[in-house]
Structure 1
Amino acid sequence: MSSTLLSRRDLRFLLHDWLEATRLTERPRYAEHSRETFDAVLDLAERVATERFAPHNRAADLSEPPSTAGGCTSSRRSSRPSTSSPRPACWPPAWTPRSGGMQVPHVVQVACFAWFQAANIGTSAYPFLTLGNANLLLAYGSAEQIDTWVRPMVQGRFFGTMCLSEPQAGSSLADITTRPEPQDDGTYRLHGTKMWISGGDHELSENIVHLVLARIPGGPPGVKGISLFIVPKVLLDADGALEARNDVVLVGLNHKMGYRGTTNTLLNFGEGVHRPGGRPGAVGYLVGEPHQRLPQMFHMLTSSRP
């Protein structure tokens, strides 16, 4: 039976006849795969898109996620089925075995996400952002950061975001003012506000891993002084279990014309509503070396883009 979402025939023509994706299996990285495994992954993507994403597409677009006293939520009954099943939501074929994935080629991943986005552009944004977040940490994060934050994203327990823009700076990242204060234990306490954060707050996952651009005091001016931090919504204990709310607070929702099922938020870091350890400031973990870390965030922009 033909799909109403995409042409299966056209997609396979592009993938196999035009791009000759199967030739990638000649490389050691993809030697365990074949056309059969690629087609099986595409069939699964179509089924997930049809059964879990498409049914609530219209409802999600007609009704934006509401803001509640405890934060904003996109977990209406109509949208939860698509993301409550961890594996289909976060799509393990997109990741390497190192992080618990299947390591299918990027071109096959793009074909899979074509199904999700055709079915429901709003809901597909959540795993889409998570994929980019995880890819960045796989490229630049430490082994400990990968184990702590990437693996739960592959499992579908955590979702991810990127936090660049600020109300006073817009897209001029050289003018951001979010400030991280170094702590004796090697962590940082962040203070500032981020704007236009897609997926910035919701109830679809156990945790949200924010990747935040901030400026460590004393660094060089402009974009060369920007550093990148992991700032989770919920902090973890030594065993990786959820522990306490971090000092990340939803200020409000932005209203968009398109794919309204994706929450788009204004977030305060370090407002003092939640005080981890009794002190204000959102706990953050530096990714890589301080300063000159803007290219890391653009790695997320390019690596997650279908």
Structure 2
Amino acid sequence: MSETKTVVQEICRSVNQDRTRMMDIITQVQSRLGCVSSEAIDLIATQVHCKRVEVESAASFYAFLSRTPKGKVVIRLCNDVVDRMNGADTVAQAFSSELGIGFGQTTPDGKITLEYAPCIGMCDQAPAALINQEVFTYLSTDKAREIVRELKKHGDPKKITHRLGDGNNAHELVRSMVHNGIRKKGPVIFSEHDPGKAAGLKNALAMSPVEVIREIKTARLRGRGGAGFPAGMKWEFTRGSEGTKKFVICNADEGEPGTFKDRVILTERAELVFEGMAVAG
């Protein structure tokens, strides 16, 4: 039995061949095998009893998943417009020269891959890079060279983490160098809040859906997307749509160049997001 088959079977069994856990399966395969190969896609489809195209569509959609093997360490330098305005091009040259490879390539020993990434939500701390799961901010040419030298020694990005950020970024389970960058705390999101009380949700449960929507409209709350669409109107349209089973989904993707507005809310006040989703539901 091939290594790929053994790994895929083990991962799929760990989630009881549940096709709704597709992303968990694919990301674990990527982590253990270094890529999601055509063979792996076939095997996953067989294990979870779905069509091959369902697996392939998920595996090919995300930039951080690969069909071909990459190094144990992947350096993803953000190349959006804000990072480039802050010197990402010279940082890129430093990474490339120190590694002796170009972007989109892997070192001859197969240990380190260098590539660009679209916006990673660190525009306020640019230039930035994601090295495996570790975020490196305020990069310079000297920092880039130092990072490569350290990676060549031990190959562990976590060992390069120092001067942790503020708030939950410094939590022992997070240990991130990212800073929240809050200059002025507003009276809503960062006011004193007891997540255990869930006052907003309790108030909503005592009201009818129509009353909740009316309250949202009166408050003139807007969605956090680019259009700033009135939230109350969105909820009203959704409530009146066909179907008895509906879902509340939190779209917090930071994939648009220059956007990082949701990052701090999710890291520092995630309970407010969950409470808001519960109210909407």
**TM more than 0.5:** no
Q: If each structure's helix is expressed as a fraction of its own residues, which one has the higher value? A: 2
Q: If each structure's strand is expressed as a fraction of its own residues, which one has the higher value? A: 1
Which structure has the higher relative contact order (CA within 8 Å, separation 6+)?
1
